[in-house]
Structure 1
Amino acid sequence: MTLKKTILIILGGLVLLIVGIAITIMMLMPPGKTPMPGKQWPALSLAPDLPEALRGSDVGMRLAPKNPELANGVYPLPHGDSAQQDATVINGPIDISRRLKPEEIVYKFLGPGPVGAYTSGIYPDGRRVLWVNGVSGLYKLDSETYEILAHLPSNKSDKYNQAWAEKITASLDKNNSIWNLPTAMKAVGTLMDLSGVYCVVGKNGWIYVANKDGSLQAYGDKFDGDADSEIVEKAIFRIPEIASGPTVGMNMTYDGWIVYPTENGYLVAISSDLKKYHIIQLNFADKENTGSLGVGYGWVRNSIAVDDDGGIYVVSRKHVHKVVWTGNGFSKDDKDGAWVAEYRNSKGGGSGATPALMGFGDEDQLIALTDGDNLMNVTLMWRDEIPEDWEQLNGAPSRRIAGLAPVTMGSLNLEKIQSEQTVIVAGYGVLVVNNQPRNVPNFMPKDGGVNGLFIGPLGSNPDIQPYGVQKFQWDPETRKIYSAWVNVDASSPNGVPWVSLGSRQVYFIGARNNEWTLEALNWDTGDETFHYIIGGQKFNNQFSGPTIDEKGRIFYGTMWGRALLNPEVGGK
């Protein structure tokens, strides 16, 4: 082969790569819909370091009240409970750092997008099941063996079969650099076919699936109480046209009504039998432009938190809304405890975080989120009445804001960071992770769906994976937010962490040397406790997060299935 021909082949390959990248950008980025910048607030001072005397001072705090209308399992809805904390009292694993043996990993192929596995209550025979909704349909798994007990296939289940997935995985195992973007696009593009991201399992054994079109479907066992029976549709609710729009979350009130927002600003409550409903339009939805800026970038972008007094907390593009569920409908009246408060949003696209509740009973009761600044700030707001002597913070758009802390990831000194995850709350602690990929080519956009392309299928690549985990802590005595710790060596590329208050650890799926890992950091200090090496791209969690089951084992979603880590502690 001549030198000229070799050069032409190389140039041709580069042209094809650039064309592939252009197609990727067109598919994943909202064309021509850049957010209008919001008000430019003054820069904030960094949160002071947490005094040593306060480290671990929130041990023994109250837990979020258990919602009796949810299935009695560890994970009946996204983020674990109605407070959306991503935390549990169940002890997680404590071990030495090592590679897991193949027999210590239970894996089940289910097709793309099995982000959540929702736990049932206990069946009459003593078993539990996991309900998993993905691109290939709705599955019911035995929670112990991961045997598929039933499957209600979608119209995509044959398209994304195991042979197809293994081919993609093999390609990414061989090369998950930017030079394999076309394969990465195939892997993440499957999620566009996922209709129902959010699900809730009720105490009645039904799983409620919120679809993109605003409809809600309920499924259950063909024979009640029989875990081995087929999956059947129990009921369906179709949202009235006036409030139609993609759903972006789901929760349940403490009297059993399913509640969810639409991305264009409506809040919907539906009875558990799907026969009755209430709808309300959020404040400012009739005045602001509620149009979507692209997939996942609506006026409301994430799920909602619910408290046991009827408070429902929704984050829109500029405001946090507390709407009160009275049992007979919604109220936006401040006499019922409802309120609306502005947050910082200099970038203009709003918060990417699901809000989480902090503090219960006689503790300081706050709501935690990250805001819409280019360098996001952990933002705490008073949930109920604002203390009479409370003075509005400098740089805060609202007196309701109790704490503001820029997220710089310590010595990484980030100048720009946004999150597409919930904030993790346990006690008075708030955890955030860095999901900004490194070394993104200059010719590619640095925001939106392209970020997901890099931290998803390519997230374990050492040249791309982001680093940094930071914890903040509220002190009720000084009424200040502090930086508790930063770990700049830890990496949680794309998933939501999970906290065990029992073992005082925060767990997340990380990556080392281009292999996926389970990482455990001390919740009070941020120091590494141990890590497991799980394996290659088959075990990429791709936007799923770890959860701790009733036996203290970690389970999580992968690109094409579900994994249960069942280690012999100490590797013995």
Structure 2
Amino acid sequence: MNLKIKNIGLLMMLMGTLLYSGCIEKNKNEKVAEGVEEQTSKVSHLLPPANPFLIANSSYPSVHSNPAQSDVTKWATWNENVDIKEENTQWLPWVTSIGTVHRPYPNGEEALFVSGTNKIGKIKITNGVFEWVDEVVVPGYEYEVPSEDAIRATVDEMIAGGTDESKYLPPYANHVKAIKQSSANIGNGIYTMMDNEGNYFCGFGTSIFKVSDKNPGDVNSEIEIVKAFDVKDGVTPEEAKQISRIFALGMTYDGYIAVAMPGIIAVLDRNLENMQYIILEGEAVDNGISIDDTGGIYCVTSKYMRKIVWDGKKISDKEEDGAWKSPYDYVPNPKALSRGSGNTPSLMGFGPDEDHLVFVADAGEDISAVAFWRDEIPEDFEQKEGTKSRRIADQIKLTIDVPATIEWSPHIYGNGVMMMASAWPDPVYDENGKLAIFETVLTAGITREPPTGVEKWSWDKETYSLKSDWTLQRGLQWALYPVSATSNTVTLTIAEEGNYSLQTVDWDTGKEISTTNLGNNPIFNTAGGLFIPIDENRIYITGVMGPVMIHKE
């Protein structure tokens, strides 16, 4: 084991300890989630250890907020009701913009680096500014996309269409064709991160791109692609045939890049050189990876939940090196976008006295939340009835209705884990009978039934078991908003009856605290993206029609 990595992780973990208190006052307008008594909570949780090789002081240095992929932010949520008006909204019409990193600069300047359908851009956000600094087209994706005016016209048509699908959907379907967006390239630019030197990494096709400021440290600097590497070039021609579309990028705690895609998981340095890899023959990887501070890389495939080990010199899937794999329940479902589990594994437990677990939702006949032991399995642990292996610490069936699997990664804070319905009850199919992913996402909650239901559990280390804490039956858009460690809340991205909103609830009880009403504008739909708090006053939205910033004041 790499002792240097472990020591850094321990130091960062202790620095990351956060004490918060949450107190919910009774109110006749509050809704209480199923099975929850009114309570006041005051607990202390260790956050995932900060990775010293990710950009420092960032509100969002990598996808899902941290290497554990737990979706936790330090920023407090908006705990009062807010109506977002036009003057509180800034929008830059662009292509679909999911991959995002928040980049702080010296002297208080700030920018966002974003990846879209075929572009990489930089947005200055200092002191209320929200404007493009620069953009570059990704090599191999040089084609024209609609102008800002054309995108604004599309949005106006959609708003005018309201909940009448015959008027609402056609302008958007035409837009999707114009930007050449599809399920085949949905992974492009999603999993992004920035290292401690300000280099931005993103993936398109089977290639990794390294993007930097031309003038390092200057918020107003143009950007450039300084290097690119096609993962297929690092393997044999026969192995390359098994590899397709990039999905996952992550940073190890000793500063290497981990990458996973159907057929392969690999590690290479930040100069995009010296790649080591493991071929995952016949295994699809359709989501992200999580990384711990002792060299563990967690990847769910269409066959197994896996722990791969990186010791600073070599990558291994051998048990003698601490790696493992476990089967889980999986039944292919045509309503699922992903093959296998479909969600990014998320880590729980970061202290020496905590159980160290990794969570996914499975894809069985009845969908379950599944916890796997990350490290050694306790000697007194007996395999649970109905589980595929002793590596599974527990699994518990969801009580919310999920027609396929949970496409979204779990939210994890302390000993709590939350999952949201994210498969569609009524998807849109194209003229060839194939799932039209973007049209489906844009109609859910507007002209068609949305994914409905949120469920949260807690892990009991004494009984090695999960118990359900609460559920809420709300219609959701396909988006994530992180848990607030400061407020002890989580915010749900609601899409119901043609309207978008943010519903903040208490993490422990599920009590509804506040609503941020966004309205019916499709710019607030992320099409599989994220709501990213930049500070207490600003929330960035990776909008389907381009980047959006909302603010309270």
1:303-452 map, 5 Å: 303-347=288-332, 349-361=339-351, 362-409=353-400, 414=401, 416-439=403-426, 449-450=435-436, 452=438
Show the counterpart of 1:231. Answer: 223
**In the aligned structure 2, how far is the partner of 1:247 from the partner of 1:523?**
33
Separation in 1 of the partners of 2:370 and 2:41? 21
> Normalised by the size of structure 1, how large is the TM-score?
0.81
Answering whether residue 287 of structure 2 is matched by residue 302 of structure 1, we say yes
Q: Percent identity?
A: 27
1:44 alignment counterpart: none
- How far is 1:101 from its partner? 2.5
Give the Å deviation of 1:448: 7.7
Aligned to 1:499: 483
Note the C-alpha offset of 1:88.
Answer: 1.9
Deviation at 1:231, TM superposition (A): 0.8
Q: 1:197 aligns with which of 190, 204, 213?
A: 190
Superimposed CA distance per residue, residues 405-444 of structure 1 (whole angstroms, 9 cap, x where no aligned partner): 11231xxxx2634122211111111111122434558x99
- Find the residue that maps to 2:354 and give its secondary structure: coil
Unaligned residue ranges in structure 1 (runs of 5+): 1-48, 291-298
- What runs of 5+ residues in structure 2 fail to find an aligned partner? 1-33, 334-338
Distance 1:211 1:373 in 2: 31
Match of 1:10? none
TM-score by length of 2: 0.83
Q: In the alignment, is residue 485 of structure 1 matched against residue 470 of structure 2?
A: yes
Deviations 1:437-491 (A, max 9, x none): 34558x999x98346532x211231642232111111111222101110111x22
More strand by share: 2
Counterpart Cα distance in 1 of 2:382 and 2:390: 7
**Local SS of the residue matching 1:163:** helix
In 2: Cα distance, 1:542 partner to 1:53 partner:
35
Q: Distance in 1 between matches of 2:550 and 2:518?
A: 9
Larger Rg: 1
Per the alignment, residue 261 of structure 2 pairs with: 262
Correspondence for 1:124 among 96, 106, 115: 106
Local SS of the residue matching 2:547: strand
Distance 1:487 1:53, change over 3 A: closer
Aligned twin of 1:185: 173
Q: Matches of 1:55 and 1:481 in 2, distance apart?
A: 21
Partner of 1:23: none
The counterpart of 2:274, out of the listed 264, 273, 276, is 276
Describe the SS at the equivalent of 1:254. coil
The residue aligned with 2:250 is 251
Cα 1:425–1:153 shift into 2, 3 Å: same
**Match of residue 203 from structure 2:** 210
- Letter of the aligned partner of 2:102 in structure 1? T
| SS of equivalent residue, structure 1 residue 302 | coil
Cα contact 2:372–2:391 (8 A) shared by 1? yes
Equivalenced residue count is 493
* Cα pair 1:499 1:505 within 8 Å, conserved: yes
Q: How far 1:336 moved relative to its partner?
A: 2.2
CA deviation after TM superposition for structure 1 residue 125, in Å: 3.1
1:70-100 superposed Cα distances (whole Å, 9 cap, x missing partner): 111121211111000011232122112x422
CA drift of 1:124 comes to 2.7
* 8 Å CA contact retained: 1:115, 1:544: yes
Aligned partner of 1:60: which letter? S
In structure 2, give the amino acid aligned to 1:433. Answer: M
| Deviation sequence 1:28-59 (CA, Å, 0-9, x none) | xxxxxxxxxxxxxxxxxxxxx978699858x3
What is the alpha-carbon distance in structure 2 between the residues aligned to residue 421 and residue 468 of structure 1? 13
Say if 1:56 and 1:531 are closer, same or farther in 2 by CA, change over 3 A: same
SS in 2 for 1:468: strand
How has the CA–CA distance of structure 1 residues 202 and 534 changed in structure 2, closer, same or farther, with 3 Å as cutoff?
same
Contact 1:347 / 1:374 at 8 angstroms: preserved in 2?
Answer: no
Partner of 2:546: 561
Distance (whole Å) between structure 2 residues aligned to residue 158 and residue 452 of structure 1: 19
SS of 1:335's partner is: helix
Distance 1:149 1:444, change over 3 A: closer
CA distance in structure 2 between the partners assigned to 1:444 and 1:187 by the alignment: 15
User: Displacement, 1:163?
Assistant: 2.4
Superposed CA offset, 1:220-271 (max 9, x none): 011111121111122222322435422111101001101111212x111111
Maintained 8 Å contact 2:329/2:363: yes
198-207 or 538-547: which moved more? 538-547
Counterpart of 1:226, as a letter, is: D
Question: What amino acid sits opposite 1:403 in the alignment?
Answer: D
